[in-house]
């Protein structure tokens, strides 16, 4: 009996978590091909990796294909420049990718949102994250896997002063902070995403930061 071989589709592969997800997928025996959709070329290659330059504002539905979709899209209000631009990256793009992928036969959808994601939140960031989770639940994947990390740490390749300060304070206060609220390495989030998605779980499942810390 031959083991199932899958194709993974990664969106947001140039970001902190996305790069780690690609590395985990390449190393996994479960996946024979890893396809990425990015605005710009990635800075690395691999025989298993197919990188496609993709216009998220005018998506080509024909390339949004894969057994498992890993969505690592996300920005900050400062980087986006406006609420509208932030909403487009953190809500519109993920939902469009999910809908197209589901239409093209994707079975599983894994997404990074954020701790505190809640459609009823008074904070815009958390509210948008909650909205995207709520809409994804209506699409009908065999498995919808939602990962809510706390403060992410790792090499971003860019400077985010607020996050640098938060990361520094987190390291100092780490022993006093409950596990769920401690900063978490992007590689742990990625490993959790790939390991759990590849394990044939079904239904809508939410993983908080303390669970991801175990990977």
Domain ranges of the chain: 6-158+185-210
Averaged confidence pLDDT in the chain: 91
- Residue 2 pLDDT > 50: no
Ordered DSSP codes for 96-154: HHHHHHHHTT--EEEEE--TT--TT-SSHHHHHHHHHHHHHTTT--SEEEEEE-SSEES
CA distance 206 to 24: 20
Please report which confidence band the pLDDT of residue 154 belongs to, taking 50, 70 and 90 as the band edges: confident
Which residues does the annotation mark as catalytic? 125, 129
Backbone phi and psi for residue 32, each to the nearest 5 degrees, phi listed first: -90, -25
| pTM of the predicted model as reported, rounded to 2 decimal places | 0.90
More confident residue, 2 or 188: 188
Note the residue count of the chain.
Answer: 215
Q: What is the pLDDT of residue 38?
A: 95
- Contacts (Cβ under 8 Å, ≥6 apart) of 211: 192
Q: Does domain 6-158+185-210 fall into CATH 3.40.50.150?
A: no
Please report which confidence band the pLDDT of residue 9 belongs to, taking 50, 70 and 90 as the band edges: very high
Q: What is the pLDDT of residue 32?
A: 97
Q: What is the pLDDT of residue 1?
A: 40
Q: What is the pLDDT of residue 191?
A: 98
Q: What is the pLDDT of residue 180?
A: 74
Please report which confidence band the pLDDT of residue 162 belongs to, taking 50, 70 and 90 as the band edges: low
Percent of the chain with pLDDT over 70: 87
Q: What is the pLDDT of residue 181?
A: 72
Radius of gyration of the chain (CA): 17
- The whole-number average pLDDT for the span 11-35 is 97
Q: What is the pLDDT of residue 155?
A: 76
Least confident window among 73-77, 94-98, 110-114: 73-77
CA distance 33 to 140: 24
CA distance 52 to 36: 6
- Residue 172 pLDDT > 80: no
- Residue 156 pLDDT > 80: no
CA distance 93 to 99: 10
């Amino acid at each position: 009996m031959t083991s199932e071989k899958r194709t993974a589709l990664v969106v947001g592969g140039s970001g902190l978590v996305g790069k780690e997800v690609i590395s985990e997928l390449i190393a996994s025996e479960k996946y024979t091909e890893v396809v990425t959709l990015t605005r710009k070329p990635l800075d690395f290659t691999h025989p298993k990796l197919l990188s496609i330059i993709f216009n998220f504002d005018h998506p080509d539905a024909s390339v949004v294909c894969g057994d498992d979709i890993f969505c690592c899209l996300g920005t900050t209000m400062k980087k986006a420049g406006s609420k509208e631009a932030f909403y487009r990256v953190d809500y519109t793009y993920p939902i469009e990718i999910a809908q197209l992928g589901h239409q093209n036969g994707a079975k599983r959808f894994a997404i990074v949102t954020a701790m505190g994601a809640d459609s009823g939140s008074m904070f815009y960031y958390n509210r948008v994250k909650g909205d995207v989770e709520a809409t994804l639940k209506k699409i009908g994947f065999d498995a919808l896997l939602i990962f809510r990390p706390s403060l992410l740490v790792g090499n971003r390749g860019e400077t985010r002063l607020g996050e640098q300060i938060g990361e520094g304070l987190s390291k100092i206060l780490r022993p006093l902070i409950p596990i769920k609220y401690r900063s978490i390495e992007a590689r742990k989030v990625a490993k959790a995403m790939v390991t759990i998605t590849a394990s044939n779980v079904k239904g809508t499942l939410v993983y908080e930061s303390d669970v991801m810390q175990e990977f």
